[in-house]
Structure formats: C-alpha cells, structure tokens
Chain A
C-alpha cells in the first residue's frame, strides 16, 4: 500500500507448443487407417465411416455450442442439404466423391441466410428456431417429387463401381473429411479467431467491449458448422447409397450430437473425440436392444450434464492437465495470486 511497485513486464506464450507428439502420432494413425481397406473386410471400414460421420458432426456441433455458445437442435438441415447436393450433382454427371467438398460448400452457403434470420436469437429461442427450420426444409423437400418425395432417392452415380473399390473410396473420403474437420477445428481454435471465440463464450459483454465482433464471429462459426454437417451428410449418402428426407432431416441427429457432447465434454477439441468413441461403442454394443440403447445413452447424457458438466474429457483434463490439442495461453509475469498460474 505504501511504496510504488516496480514496473512488471508480462509475457504471453502459447500453452505448450503444438504437441509434436500429437502431430506425429496423428500422422501415423492416419497412415495406418488409410491402409485398412487393404487389410480388413468392408464391414470394418463401414463402421469407421459411420464413426467419422458422427465425429464430424460432434466436432462441429461442439464448435457451435462450446465456443460460440450457440446450442443448435437443427444442424440436421445441413446434413440433408449436403446429402441432397450430392444426389443432385451426381444426377447431373458429377462423381459423388468429388461432390463431397461441393456439398460442404453448398451447406455452408445455405447456412448464411439462416444465420441472418436466426443469429440474433438467444438460448431456447435459437435452439427451437433451428429445429423448426430443419423441420420446414424437410417438409419442403418431401414435396419435391424429383428429389424422391416420401419414398426417398437412390444415388445412381456409383452404380458402375466395383463394391470393394467403392467402399474403399468411400472410406478414404471419410478419412479425409474427418481429418480436415478435426485438424481444421483445432487450427481455427488455436488462431486469433479462436481466442475471440473463447472470449465470447466466457463473457460476451466483456468481449464486445474490447472490440470482438460478436455477430460476425458467431456467423463464421455457424457457417463452418453448417459446412461440416454438409460434409457428413454427403458421406452419409455416399455410404448408404440412398437418402430419405424424413430420416436425414430428423432431429435424431441432433440428439446424437448432443449426447456425444454431454458425454465427452463441450469446449475442448478432445471432448467430441472421446465422446464419439464412447457413444459409438455404446451404440454398437446395445444395437440389438432396440429402444433401450437410447434410454441408456440418454440417461447417461442427462446424468453427465448435471454431475459432470465438463464431460469425461473435462475430468481427464482436471485430473491430469493433458491437452492433446492445446489451444490455450500461459500468462507469465503479472501474477496477482502467486499460488497458481492462470491458463485459459
């Protein structure tokens, strides 16, 4: 209280250099995975395709909810847009595999007008509005006979392929989508933009007062999430070879995304990965129990939300301070409470 303090210099460093072990390990895993079609039967790679679809959805949903604070119950609309884009393009002669990135772009573009309509809404308003948009689009698609109407449509463009080749190509496309999604999200969050997002998540008013452009940041995240869901939808139609409006626009997809997020944890890059793994295992092992699998998973999700709000990865992080995908910062120098350094 008496003497003036000597000026303190503050240094900011990234929290752990991008873990080189993760990068090397990741590349190795990717290489092993890419070789799988030569090694295992198609049912294994099919399983992995479904896993990656879920992972893509969960990662992008986590971006929306965990970083932009937007709980959407309507991402399935972009799954549908992605799938139907592939259908239409393939009907016009495009290779379905090449159509996958285009489907992602289409879904991203489609999300822009929706964002203009919905992004000023908050909380429950936003959530249910996104759901209604998905329902409305689904109902509209049902009424378009050229898209298959109520019975659904088949993907024709892959008819000429040898099944093994087709499945391998599908699998590799899925690997590409999954890798791009996870790495892309990680890089996004590690960037300056990611810092803005964390600021918005933690304290929107405070973020605005230091100049973070809230609405455009949220819009960017919403479009990225839409594109991701579009890619997932494209993978879906390519792997299933048909699409049905009622099921692809169903809110069941949002249920999956939410459950994964609640189990694995929202707000980290690792959370959705862990959550997808566990959810997938539960889904596969309980698949023959019919409705029980959703009762069990749903109950687990509810319990997790209330007692372990940061999800399982949150528990791991709290205990071991592990970050495979470090996105935070360390503050050195101006420490007001010397007892613990601060990391975001």
Chain B
C-alpha cells in the first residue's frame, strides 16, 4: 500500500513537472530551440512572487496574476531580442547563449537574494490533504498543481488548434518560409509562442516555490527534469509531456522509496533508458 501511495504521489508530482515541461515542449515544437535557462526563469518567477508578497502582502495566488503577464512580456522580449538573434546565427548558438543566460540569472539572483533557501507561503494548501483511504492521501497543493497543469495544457492545445494565431504558430513551425509568403509575421508569431511559454514558466516557478524550497541554483535541476519529461513523453506533444512528467515523477518517488537518495538518479536512469530504446518518446507527434 505504501507503494501505491508513493505511485500516486509520483503522479501528482508529474503534474508539477508537466507544468515545467509544457513551455519547453511548446518552444521546441515551434522553433526547435531548447532554452537552457528555462529552469532559471522559473526560479526567477518564484523570487518575483516572493518580492511581490513581501511588498504588497497578498496571498501567493495573487502574485501569480502579477508574475504570469510580466513573464509573458519578458518571454516576447527574450525571444525577439536574444533567441531569434541566436537562431539566425545557428541553432547551436541558441544553446550556448541560453546557457550563458542561465549562469547570469543564477548569479544575479545570488547577488540580489542570497543563497539561502526560501519558500513561498502556501498557507492552508500545504498542510491540507484529501484522505482517500487509510494510507492514501492527496495533498491539496499537489492536486491544485496537477489540476493547473491539465488546465494549462488544455488551454495551450485550444490556442493552437482553434485560434487564428495558433494556426499561424503551427504553420510557421511547419514551414517558416511558406508561412511568411502567406502573410505570417514569423518573428512576431514566435514571440507570441515564447510569451505563452514564459507565462507557463511563471506558473511553474510559483508552483515549485509553494511545493518545495528553492534557492538561486535550483534552476538547472528543474530544466533537467523538464527536459526529461519532454523526452520521455515525446517532443512536441503537449499531452505526451504530461505523460512524461507523470512517468518521471513516479520513477523518482518510487526510487526514493527504495532508498532515500536514489530518487533523482532513478529518474535519470529512466530517461537514459528511453533515449536508448525509444528516442522519439512515447507519444511522438513529429520527428525530433
């Protein structure tokens, strides 16, 4: 029964990972770019929320209302000014530039906020839980995060499938040249996609901040987990990302049941196994 509880916790943890991963998946699916500073931007969002709460004393969920739009704007700017420019040079340049950005963000946060672990106050959410049975309880926070991940993925899917801008995003992702000759402003459209991705990063960062403690160097681990979720589930498929997140979460929690320090390593091993055996992930929607 302990194992079932662990598995369920893993599934819920997968929601958090999926929230991190869907922005990464969106950007990769559209532009073939991996932002190596992805995790660091999420941590930045957590610190931003911390600052907002310290300044205005609002509940943490209100801080999300501030962080998400701000990050959308930030995402548009980063895309058009930095990532697009790097993409024009070469795809490898984007890796190097975003890596450099990652280091800069981490150390800037270190300067501004100190290396101490912090946490976002989640109030009732952290302690409350839904008792399903004797040994199985589902934390309210975990449920909320999982629910948010689903809502976000549904919203992104609807945006892509039902809106004119979503259609332009998909067309530009398929064939930039042809899309541009039909009137699609590819750079602007990529900016919009990045804005959406960054908004999800803000949500992920705040969720993470409530779920566990964070410090300026927490970014790279989040990036790795997000990437692992995307790869396990299949690049470019948002629902696959959810599946990948869940599998990763379950692997990690079950791993730490086996032995306290084994959780993260277990996740890495699953990732490497998927890479070796099914490099396109479990639900591939386009070739990598």
Which A positions have Cβ atoms within 8 angstroms of B?
Answer: 65, 69, 71, 73, 117-118, 120-125, 127-129, 131-133, 135-136, 139-140, 142-143, 251, 254-255, 258-259, 261-262, 290-292, 294-295, 298-299, 301-302, 305-306, 309
**Chain B, 245-266, CB within 8 A of any chain A CB:** 261-262, 264-265
* B180–chain A nearest beta-carbon distance, Å: 23
Is there contact, CB below 8 Å, between B265 and A139?
yes
Given A71-B95, A117-B276, A301-B100: A292 and B224 within 8 A (CB)?
A: no
Is there contact, CB below 8 Å, between A136 and B269?
yes
Say which residue of B34, B104, B261, B269 sits within 8 Å of A298 (CB atoms).
Answer: B104
Q: What separation, in Å, do the CA atoms of A136 and B271 have in the docked complex?
A: 10
Q: What separation, in Å, do the CA atoms of A135 and B91 have in the docked complex?
A: 24
State the main secondary structure of chain B at its contact with A.
helix
Is there contact, CB below 8 Å, between A251 and B272?
no
* B92–chain A nearest beta-carbon distance, Å: 5
Q: What separation, in Å, do the CA atoms of A124 and B94 have in the docked complex?
A: 9
Residue of A nearest to B228 (CB): A132
Is there contact, CB below 8 Å, between B89 and A309?
yes
Is there contact, CB below 8 Å, between B272 and A295?
no
B36 contacts which chain A residues (CB < 8 A)? Answer: 73, 127-128
Is there contact, CB below 8 Å, between A306 and B103?
no
Q: Please, could you name 11 A-B residue pairs with CB atoms under 8 Å apart, sorted by A?
A: A71-B92, A71-B96, A125-B275, A128-B227, A131-B224, A135-B264, A139-B265, A292-B107, A294-B104, A302-B101, A305-B93
B228 contacts which chain A residues (CB < 8 A)? Answer: 132
B32 contacts which chain A residues (CB < 8 A)? Answer: 123
Is there contact, CB below 8 Å, between A255 and B111?
no
A122 contacts which chain B residues (CB < 8 A)? Answer: 288
* B130–chain A nearest beta-carbon distance, Å: 33
Given A128-B227, A258-B96, A305-B93: A298 and B103 within 8 A (CB)?
A: yes
Q: Is B220 located at the chain interface by the 8 A CB criterion?
A: yes
* B2–chain A nearest beta-carbon distance, Å: 22
Q: What separation, in Å, do the CA atoms of A65 and B91 have in the docked complex?
A: 13
Is there contact, CB below 8 Å, between B276 and A309?
no
Is there contact, CB below 8 Å, between B104 and A129?
no
Q: What separation, in Å, do the CA atoms of A254 and B107 have in the docked complex?
A: 16
Q: What separation, in Å, do the CA atoms of A261 and B99 have in the docked complex?
A: 13
8 further A-B pairs in the complex, CB-CB below 8 A; given A117-B275, A118-B275, A124-B34? A71-B95, A135-B224, A135-B268, A136-B268, A139-B261, A290-B111, A291-B108, A301-B96
A135 contacts which chain B residues (CB < 8 A)? Answer: 224, 264, 268
* A198–chain B nearest beta-carbon distance, Å: 16
Is there contact, CB below 8 Å, between B265 and A140?
yes
Q: What separation, in Å, do the CA atoms of A221 and B288 have in the docked complex?
A: 24
Is there contact, CB below 8 Å, between B95 and A262?
no
Is there contact, CB below 8 Å, between A291 and B99?
no
Is there contact, CB below 8 Å, between A262 and B111?
no
Residue of B nearest to A254 (CB): B99
Residue of B nearest to A302 (CB): B100
**Chain B, 60-102, CB within 8 A of any chain A CB:** 82, 85-86, 89-93, 95-97, 99-101
Is there contact, CB below 8 Å, between B268 and A132?
yes
Is there contact, CB below 8 Å, between B107 and A294?
yes
B224 contacts which chain A residues (CB < 8 A)? Answer: 128, 131-132, 135
Residue of A nearest to B223 (CB): A128
Q: What separation, in Å, do the CA atoms of A125 and B95 have in the docked complex?
A: 11
Say which residue of A259, A290, A306 sits within 8 Å of B93 (CB atoms).
Answer: A306
Q: What separation, in Å, do the CA atoms of A262 and B268 have in the docked complex?
A: 29
Is there contact, CB below 8 Å, between A127 and B100?
no
A129 contacts which chain B residues (CB < 8 A)? Answer: 272, 275
* A189–chain B nearest beta-carbon distance, Å: 19
Is there contact, CB below 8 Å, between A255 and B103?
yes
Q: Is B121 located at the chain interface by the 8 A CB criterion?
A: no
Q: What separation, in Å, do the CA atoms of A301 and B197 have in the docked complex?
A: 25
* B155–chain A nearest beta-carbon distance, Å: 25
Q: What separation, in Å, do the CA atoms of A124 and B86 have in the docked complex?
A: 14
Q: Is B166 located at the chain interface by the 8 A CB criterion?
A: no
Is there contact, CB below 8 Å, between B34 and A128?
yes
Q: What separation, in Å, do the CA atoms of A172 and B199 have in the docked complex?
A: 54
Q: What separation, in Å, do the CA atoms of A262 and B92 have in the docked complex?
A: 12
* B205–chain A nearest beta-carbon distance, Å: 20
Is there contact, CB below 8 Å, between B86 and A306?
yes
Q: What separation, in Å, do the CA atoms of A217 and B86 have in the docked complex?
A: 27
Residue of A nearest to B221 (CB): A135
A295 contacts which chain B residues (CB < 8 A)? Answer: 104, 107-108, 111
Residue of B nearest to A300 (CB): B100
* A343–chain B nearest beta-carbon distance, Å: 21
Say which residue of B89, B104, B106 sits within 8 Å of A302 (CB atoms).
Answer: B104
A133 contacts which chain B residues (CB < 8 A)? Answer: 272
